[in-house]
Amino acid sequence: MRSHLTNLEGRAGFQPRRLEGADSGASAPEAGRLAARVWIEGAMTNEWDAAQYDAKHAFVYEKAKGLVELLAPQPGERILDLGCGTGALTAEIAGRGADILGVDSSENMISQATKKFPALKFEALDAKELPFRAEFDAVFSNAVLHWIPEAEQVIAGVARALRPGGRFVAELGGKGNIQRLVAGFHRAFSALGIREPDGVSPWFYPSVAEYSGLLEKHGLEVRSASLFDRPTVLEDGESGLRNWIRHFRHSFLEKIGEPNALRWIEEVERQCRSELFKNGSWELDYRRLRIATWKGAADECRCYQEQPFT
Ligand code: BEZ
């Protein structure tokens, strides 16, 4: 998350180099993977704290076990875990007998996942540039897609990666996710008299209609979609909210500088306490969008055609 997060911050200005593998007789998927590795070497500056993620934010995957039930992985199926983070759900799915590949744009996350689950396959990849072609029976994703505003690019890559009849099962922050917290972020800036910099709340929280429209446009038939509240209690009592902000908004805090970050976090706590601090813990107003979609037969799906990988 994305976390297990497909964190694309720090990638601005990135220019993909010419594909290795393009002249080497590599198959399209293989050339794509080579290309993705070139991007990683050249441009990835993700610095998610994978250990902190496992220690303090494990609720991200603990809460999503029901999503694995919805995926219903079968023995022998090839499954892609998109934004696998430190691999907890990848391992859960592998435990059902599926042949799974976990991908995440954060090299820290991939390295932690590989250490934790050395028998499983993991790879650092950008979710916007999935190189796969009709290779997977299912694509699975938890708590990642709200980090990527270019949702249509991701969905197009997922649709291409699926075999006809394959399924895409995902959960992400949905419309209204953490709206009380984000309102507190804005109030804290006003209260301190600091001009609000860009990027305070960079997330994409679609409604059922908005996301379903994008999925259908790419030949993915939506068979189930729900938007529901998931109030989420953070660990570590009083420190829970500042830990969360420091983990999930670290790049933003770096931009405003440590003295401002300290003042701002304290003010956010003050602004949000009456709504979000309950019985000695911070409880965030998470809201999830959970979808299950199927890819139609090849002739129904215009995006299924092979596209040159650039
Ligand atoms: C979420 O999972 O909803 C989320 C996580 C980090 C930042 C924002 C939202």
Same domain, 35 and 71: no
Distance CA 175, CA 208 (A): 8
Which pLDDT tens digit goes with each residue over 194-204? 999 888 889 99
Total domain count for the chain?
A: 2
DSSP string covering 94-123: HTTT-EEEEEES-HHHHHHHHHH-TTSEEE
Q: How many angstroms separate the alpha carbon of residue 156 from the centre of ligand 1?
A: 23
Distance CA 222, CA 43 (A): 35
Distance CA 107, CA 148 (A): 17
Same domain, 239 and 294: yes
Same domain, 63 and 123: yes
Q: How many angstroms separate the alpha carbon of residue 13 from the centre of ligand 1?
A: 25
Same domain, 160 and 31: no
How many CB atoms are closer than 10 A to CB 65? 12
Same domain, 23 and 48: no
Q: How many angstroms separate the alpha carbon of residue 135 from the centre of ligand 1?
A: 29
Which pLDDT tens digit goes with each residue over 276-302? 999 999 999 999 999 999 999 654 544
Residues contacting residue 197 through CB under 8 Å, at least 6 positions apart: 252, 255, 256
Same domain, 111 and 206: yes
Same domain, 166 and 261: yes
Q: What is the pLDDT of residue 252?
A: 87
Pocket mutation for ligand 1, best pick of 9, 148, 178, 283 (most atoms within 8 Å of C-beta):
178
Instruction: Give nearest CA residue, ligand 1 atom 1.
Output: 173
Whether 50 has a pLDDT exceeding 90, the answer reads no
Q: How many CA atoms lie within 13 A of 55 on its CB side?
A: 8
Same domain, 132 and 281: yes
DSSP string covering 160-219: HHEEEEEEEEEEEE-TTTTHHHHHHHHHHHHHHTPPPPTTSS------HHHHHHHHHHTT
The closest-lying atom of ligand 1 relative to the alpha carbon of residue 143 is 2
Instruction: Give nearest CA residue, ligand 1 atom 5.
Output: 248
Average pLDDT over residues 174-200: 95
Same domain, 88 and 227: yes
Which pLDDT tens digit goes with each residue over 151-161? 999 999 999 99
Q: How many angstroms separate the alpha carbon of residue 129 from the centre of ligand 1?
A: 22
Q: What is the CATH number of the domain that holds 191?
A: 3.40.50.150
Instruction: Give nearest CA residue, ligand 1 atom 4.
Output: 173
Same domain, 90 and 231: yes
Residue from 199, 200, 222, 198 nearest 210 by CA: 222
**Which range has highest mean pLDDT (62-66, 179-183, 198-202)?**
179-183
Same domain, 237 and 205: yes
Q: How many angstroms separate the alpha carbon of residue 175 from the centre of ligand 1?
A: 12
Q: How many CA atoms lie within 13 A of 143 on its CB side?
A: 27
The pTM of this model reads 0.79
Dihedral, CA of residue 139, residue 51, residue 124 and residue 257, to nearest 10:
110
Instruction: Give nearest CA residue, ligand 1 atom 2.
Output: 143
Distance CA 149, CA 248 (A): 16
Residues contacting residue 155 through CB under 8 Å, at least 6 positions apart: 214, 215, 217, 218, 220
The closest-lying atom of ligand 1 relative to the alpha carbon of residue 287 is 3
Domain of residue 39: give its range.
1-43
Q: How many angstroms separate the alpha carbon of residue 145 from the centre of ligand 1?
A: 10
Same domain, 35 and 69: no
Pocket of ligand 1 (CB under 6 A): 143, 146, 173, 177-178, 203, 248, 286
DSSP state of 263: H
